C-alpha cells in the first residue's frame, strides 16, 4: 500500500541546455548561483506550500520532450526554463501543449531586452505565464505563480 502523504502533489521543474553550467556560465548575465542553488530555492518554495518538487536538466531537446511526457498524469504542473530551446524548439512546444496542467515559463534574464533571436518564445503560447528577468528569485516567483494558479483552480 502506498504511504499516506500530506503533499498536494508534485511540481516538475525542468531545465534546458547549458543551465548545468550556471555559476560559471556568463555570470554577468546569469549570476553566480548554481543550478543546484536555484533548484533548492524552488523546492523549498514548493514545500512551504505543501507540494513536492522534482527536477531534471537536459541538454538534448528529445530528452526534455520525454521529461514532459513523463510528467503527464503524475504531476500538478511544470515550471520550465527551456534555455535556448525557448526560441525554436517546436517539439517541446507540442509536448507542453499535450500536457494538461498549468505550465510556467521561467528565465533568469529578460530575453525581451536581449538579442532579437531571443524575442520569440515558442513556449509562451503553451504556458499560463512567464517569469523573466528577476535572476534567481525567479525560481521562487515561478513556483509561487504556479501554486497560485493551482489554488485558484481549487487543487
Q: Which of 55, 58, 107, 139 is catalytic?
A: 107
Q: Which of 30, 55, 99, 139 is catalytic?
A: 30
CB 77 within 8 A of CB 50: no
C-alpha distance from residue 80 to each of 51, 58, 97 (Å): 16, 11, 13
| CB of residue 32 to ligand DQA, shortest distance in Å | 14
Name the residue nearer to ligand DQA (CB basis): 21 or 74.
Answer: 21
CB 75 within 8 A of CB 98: no
Name the residue nearer to ligand DQA (CB basis): 98 or 112.
Answer: 112
Name the residue nearer to ligand DQA (CB basis): 46 or 131.
Answer: 131
Binding footprint of ligand DQA on the chain (CB under 6 A): 18, 81, 83-84, 86, 107-109, 111, 118
Name the residue nearer to ligand DQA (CB basis): 42 or 150.
Answer: 42
Active site residue 99: no
Q: How far apart are CA 15 and CA 77, in angstroms?
A: 14
* Nearest in space to 79 (alpha carbons), one of 55, 109, 103, 53: 103
Active site residue 30: yes
> Could you count the other beta carbons within 10 Å of the beta carbon of residue 91?
15
| CB of residue 73 to ligand DQA, shortest distance in Å | 27
| CB of residue 58 to ligand DQA, shortest distance in Å | 13
* Nearest in space to 52 (alpha carbons), one of 5, 101, 9, 3: 9
| CB of residue 141 to ligand DQA, shortest distance in Å | 13
**Mind telling me the catalytic residues?**
30, 107
Amino acid at each position: 500500500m502506498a504511504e499516506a502523504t500530506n503533499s498536494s502533489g508534485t511540481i516538475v521543474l525542468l531545465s534546458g541546455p547549458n543551465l548545468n553550467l550556471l555559476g560559471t556560465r556568463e555570470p554577468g548575465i546569469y549570476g553566480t548561483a548554481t543550478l543546484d542553488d536555484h533548484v533548492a530555492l524552488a523546492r523549498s518554495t514548493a514545500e512551504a506550500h505543501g507540494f513536492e518538487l522534482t527536477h531534471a536538466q537536459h541538454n538534448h531537446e528529445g530528452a526534455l520532450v520525454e521529461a514532459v511526457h513523463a510528467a503527464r498524469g503524475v504531476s500538478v504542473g511544470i515550471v520550465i526554463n527551456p534555455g535556448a530551446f525557448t526560441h525554436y524548439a517546436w517539439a517541446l512546444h507540442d509536448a507542453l501543449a499535450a500536457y494538461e496542467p498549468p505550465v510556467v515559463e521561467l528565465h533568469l534574464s529578460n530575453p525581451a531586452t536581449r538579442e532579437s533571436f531571443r524575442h520569440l518564445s515558442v513556449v509562451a503560447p503553451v504556458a499560463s505565464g512567464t517569469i523573466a528577468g528577476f535572476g534567481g528569485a525567479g525560481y521562487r516567483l515561478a513556483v509561487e505563480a504556479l501554486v497560485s494558479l493551482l489554488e485558484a483552480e481549487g487543487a
